[in-house]
Amino acid sequence: MPQVSLTVNGKPHSVEVEGRTLLVELLREKLRLTGTHVGCDTSQCGACVVHVDGESVKSCTMLAVQAEGADVTTIEGLASADGTLHPMQEAFREYHALQCGFCTPGMVMSAIDLVMKHPEGLDEKQIREGLEGNLCRCTGYHNIVKAIAAAAEVMHGRRTELAQAAE
């Protein structure tokens, strides 16, 4: 069986997999990182999004062997070692951008990539278009859009602290 060596959330791993093992299966079943979810089998829902070498990918649409040598970040690896949340995680909480939580890890990982790709800033339309690959059935996206806009301000240094949601 093939062996794949990769770094996940800063830790090196070397794991034996089948050729057909998906990256998400490696993360969930071999490394027990179950924060990354599987919500569909047609590569559309985005619940499985992780970062591979800094870019968001659907881990259900990538073979584990294709991640050889890669640096993978999952939702479990976002917060600082001291437990401080990433601004995007914090914004999702502040803006009530999650309900059942199932799409949330993928949504957060996609949102971070979206913001990082737009240092110039994002308007509501760009955020909505940028979420093309992530489905949420609970929130109607309303608060997700607001959370991403607020997190972007912090991530690009335009604000030092997250703007509070309106009461």
Partner 1 sequence: MYDFAYHKPGSIADAVKILTDDPEARPISGGQTLLPALKHRLAHPTALVDLSGIAELRGIQRDGDRLVIGAMTKHYEIQTSDVVKTAIPALAKMAGNLGDTQVRNRGTMGGSLSNNDPAADYPAAAMALNATFRTDRRSIPADEFFQGMFATALEPGELLVAIEFPIPTKAGYAKMRNPASRYVMAGVFVAKLADGSVRVAVNGAGPGVFRQEEMEAALAKSWSADAIAGIRQDPDGLNGDIHGSAEYRAHLVGVMAKRALAEAG
Partner 2 sequence: MNVVTPFEGIGASVRRKEDLRFLSGRGRYTADIDRPGQAHAYILRSPHPHAAIRGIDATAARAMPGVAAVFTGADMAAGKVGGLPCGWGVKNKDGSPMAEPPHPVLAVDRVRHVGDPVAVVVAATRAQARDAAEAIVVDYAPLPAVATIEEALRPGAPAVHDEVAGNLCFDWHLGDKAVTDAAFAKADRVVTFELVNNRLIPNAMEPRAAIGDYDPSADEHTLYTTSQNPHVIRLLMGAFVLGIPESRLRVVAPDVGGGFGSKIYHYAEEAIVTWAAARLERPVKWVADRTESFVSDAHGRDHVTRAELALDGEGNFLGLRVATRANMGAYLSTFAPSIPTYLYGTLLAGVYRTPAIYVEVKAVFTHTVPVDAYRGAGRPEATYLLERLVDVAAAETGIDRIALRRRNLVSQFPHQTPVALEYDSGNHAATLEAALRAADWDGFESRRAEAKARGKLRGIGVSTYLEACGLAPSHLAGQLGARAGLYEVGTIRFHPTGSVTVLTGSHSHGQGHETTFAQLVADRFGLPVSQVEVVHGDTGKIPFGMGTYGSRSLAVGGNAMAMAMDKIVAKGRRIAAHLLEAAVEDVEFEGGKFRVAGTDREKTIGEIAMAAYVPHNYPLAEIEPGLEETAFYDPKNFTYPGGCHVCEVEIDPETGHVQVVNFTAADDFGRVINPMVVEGQVHGGVAQGVGQALLEACVYDADGQLLTGSIMDYNLPRAEDLPSLSLSHHDTPCLTNPLGVKGCGEAGAIGSPPAVINAVVDALRERGVRHVEMPATPARIWGIIHGGGPKGAPAIAAA
The answer to whether 50 and 74 are in contact (CB under 8 A) is yes
Cα–Cα distances in Å, from 3 out to 8, 16, 26, 42, 156?
15, 4, 11, 26, 39
CB atoms within 10 A of CB 20: 9
Contact region with partner 2 (CB under 8 A), list: 63-71, 97-105, 115-123, 153-161: 97-105
| Among partner 2, partner 1, none, residue 105 binds (CB under 5-8 Å by kind) | partner 2
98 near partner 2, rule: CB under 8 A:
yes
124 binds partner 1 (CB under 8 A): no
The one among 49, 143, 152, 162 contacting partner 2 by CB under 8 A: 143
Beta carbon of residue 106, minimum distance to partner 2 (angstroms, whole number): 9
DSSP 60: G
Q: Which of residues 10-69 bind partner 1 (CB under 8 A)?
A: 18-20, 22, 41-44, 46, 49, 55-58, 60-63, 65-66, 68
76 contact partners, CB below 8 Å, separation of at least 6? 9, 33, 35
**Could you say whether residue 85 binds partner 2 (CB under 8 A)?**
yes
78 binds partner 2 (CB under 8 A): yes
Q: Among candidates 11, 113, 103, 100, which has minimal Cα distance to 56? A: 113
Distances (CA, A) of 113 to 50, 64, 94: 10, 21, 20
In single-letter form, the type of residue at position 1 comes to: M
Q: Which ranges in the chain belong to alpha helices (H)?
A: 23-25, 87-94, 104-116, 124-130, 142-155
Residue numbers of the site for partner 2 (CB under 8 A)?
18, 20, 28, 32-42, 44-45, 47, 74-76, 78-79, 85, 89, 92-94, 96, 98-105, 108, 124-125, 127-129, 131-132, 134-146, 165, 167
Which residues form the interface with partner 1 (CB under 8 A)? 2, 18-20, 22, 41-44, 46, 49, 55-58, 60-63, 65-66, 68, 110, 113-114, 117, 130, 132-134
